């Protein structure tokens, strides 16, 4: 299963409760490059922030699942200290990093940054809430959790198998 808005190509490192590192490259064929900008294609900053949020969401989800037994479905609600330091061009490999700075019952604060060739191109503090909309049907929750874990296993080759997600891959 592939989401068309999945903006992380792979996860190299995921240390539950601490840190995650992943990568994304944007193909020159992406449709948004035609308008952003004609003759000088650059990755929209909002897509870099979304890629970072997706990596942070996987870190939060997996960390909470291991700690308390449920997948939290993080939703980004705020970004602070957003900085764009340079343009990201097509085919450049973007290294994504997410470090948990606070993890509470229903929120997380994650410091994120994107790098190209070892230099920071984007950074922010992203705040997430989770479990904002409870699901009444536990089977639906399990189904969604399996989907999320399936995405994580696709992205992170080092992801261990867990008995609570049988049938997820």
Catalytic residues: 36
For residue 102, give every residue at least 6 positions away whose Cβ sits within 8 Å of its Cβ, in sequence order, or none. 108, 109
3-state helix, strand, coil in the chain (%, to 5): 30, 35, 40
Q: What span, in angstroms and rounded, lies between the C-alpha atoms of 162 and 19?
A: 20
Question: What is the separation of C-alpha 141 from the centre of its chain, rounded to a whole number of angstroms?
Answer: 20
Q: What span, in angstroms and rounded, lies between the C-alpha atoms of 73 and 167?
A: 19
Q: First vs last Cα of the chain: how many Å apart?
A: 9
Alpha-carbon separation of residue 133 from 60, 72, 74, 160 (angstroms): 17, 10, 11, 29
């Amino acid at each position: 299963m592939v989401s068309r808005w999945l903006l992380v190509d792979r996860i190299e490192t995921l240390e539950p409760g601490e840190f995650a590192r992943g990568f994304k490259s944007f193909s020159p064929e992406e449709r948004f490059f035609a308008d952003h900008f004609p003759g000088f294609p650059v990755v929209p900053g909002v897509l870099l922030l979304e890629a970072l949020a997706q990596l942070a969401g996987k870190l939060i989800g997996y960390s909470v699942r291991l700690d308390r037994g449920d997948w939290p479905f993080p939703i980004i609600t705020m970004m602070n200290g957003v900085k764009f330091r340079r343009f990201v061009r097509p085919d450049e490999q973007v290294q994504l990093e997410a470090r948990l700075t606070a993890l509470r019952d229903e929120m997380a604060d994650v410091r994120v940054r994107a790098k190209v060739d070892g230099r920071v191109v984007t950074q922010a503090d992203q705040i997430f809430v989770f479990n904002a909309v409870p699901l009444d049907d536990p089977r639906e929750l399990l189904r969604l959790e399996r989907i999320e874990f399936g995405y994580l296993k696709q992205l992170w080759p080092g992801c261990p198998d867990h008995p609570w997600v049988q049938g997820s891959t």
